[in-house]
């Protein structure tokens, strides 16, 4: 059976990886650079309260239940002047306001991994800060750490095909976090970290011209790509507490 045991720091892809890490009792770090994890980190920086919610379920009804605003799609919300999955839409005016955020990748993986020992959200924006938090929690709980790369979804696939599309920006972002993690790393984690170290001198250019970056730019969201490519600009560390994210204060969720 595939395993990255006995290493303390590991990396896995997608929903299956999130489920297995949660079932092992690992500390999970969710990485979805463009854009779920970057959006959650940015929102928390401005003290907004984010409730992650899976797609295919009635998020609007859930938002009513928790007295929050349901975040619409980028284009729809932009027309209304509301915050969106676009991280640059969050500002000081959203402080202490509650939002339900659904996405195919990051929010879904969070939902699946929510029973983990602890679930953090990491991005390039807070790579050093989230790794520091995970390091402290690992020392306290003796749990292993798994970084979950959420990836993207292929559209228009055939029935017999896998829908997960590994995303280069998530690989680099996970590598950044792994570079700050303490503890012995699996070979998979070592290679992922090496990819980040190789890419670091031209991080913004690589993500700008990546497939995901070009897709967002062509849709009019170049500012998102620029924002999400910045390294260690925020100290905010989101940790899942029951059904929403709070700032990590040194305690397990």
Quote the pTM value: 0.96
Task: Tell me the mean pLDDT in the region 86-114.
Answer: 96
Angle between helices 168-180 and 187-199 (to 10 degrees): 100
Residue 1 in this model has a pLDDT that exceeds 70: no
In a domain, 2, yes or no: no
In a domain, 253, yes or no: no
User: What are the strands of the beta sheet with 69-70, ordered from one edge?
Assistant: 49-53, 98-102, 69-70
C-alpha distances in angstroms, 137 versus 32, 103, 122, 186? Answer: 22, 27, 15, 19
d(CA 22, CA 248): 19
Query: pLDDT for 160-177, tens place per residue?
Result: 998 999 999 999 999 999
* Domain total of the chain: 1
In a domain, 1, yes or no: no
In a domain, 4, yes or no: no
In a domain, 118, yes or no: yes
Domain of residue 191, CATH code: 3.90.1560.10
The residue range of the domain holding 33 is 9-247
- What pLDDT band is residue 252 in, cutting at 50, 70 and 90? low
In a domain, 58, yes or no: yes
Residue 15 in this model has a pLDDT that exceeds 70: yes
In a domain, 92, yes or no: yes
Residue 137 in this model has a pLDDT that exceeds 90: yes
Query: pLDDT for 177-228, tens place per residue?
Result: 999 999 999 999 999 999 999 999 999 999 999 999 999 999 999 999 999 9
């Amino acid at each position: 059976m595939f395993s990255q045991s006995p290493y303390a720091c590991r990396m896995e892809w997608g929903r299956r990886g999130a489920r297995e890490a949660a079932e092992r009792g690992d500390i999970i770090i969710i990485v979805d650079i463009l854009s779920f994890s970057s959006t959650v980190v940015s929102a928390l920086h401005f003290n907004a309260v984010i409730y992650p919610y899976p797609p295919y379920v009635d998020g609007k009804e859930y938002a009513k239940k928790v007295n929050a605003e349901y975040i619409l799609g980028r284009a729809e919300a932009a027309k209304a002047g509301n915050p969106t999955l676009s991280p640059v839409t969050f500002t000081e005016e959203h402080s202490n306001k509650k939002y339900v955020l659904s996405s195919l990748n990051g929010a879904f993986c969070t939902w699946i991994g929510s029973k983990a020992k602890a679930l953090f959200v990491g991005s390039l924006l807070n790579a050093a800060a989230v790794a520091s938090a995970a390091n402290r929690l690992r020392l306290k709980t003796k749990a292993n750490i798994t970084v979950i790369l959420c990836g993207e979804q292929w559209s228009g696939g055939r029935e017999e095909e896998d829908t997960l599309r590994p995303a280069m920006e998530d690989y680099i972002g996970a590598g950044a976090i792994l570079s700050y993690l303490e503890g012995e790393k699996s070979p998979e984690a070592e290679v992922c970290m090496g990819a980040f170290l190789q890419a670091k001198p031209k991080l913004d250019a690589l993500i700008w011209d990546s497939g995901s970056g070009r897709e967002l730019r062509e849709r009019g969201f170049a500012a998102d790509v620029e924002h999400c490519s910045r390294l260690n600009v925020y100290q905010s560390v989101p940790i899942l507490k029951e059904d929403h994210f709070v700032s990590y204060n040194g305690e397990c969720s």
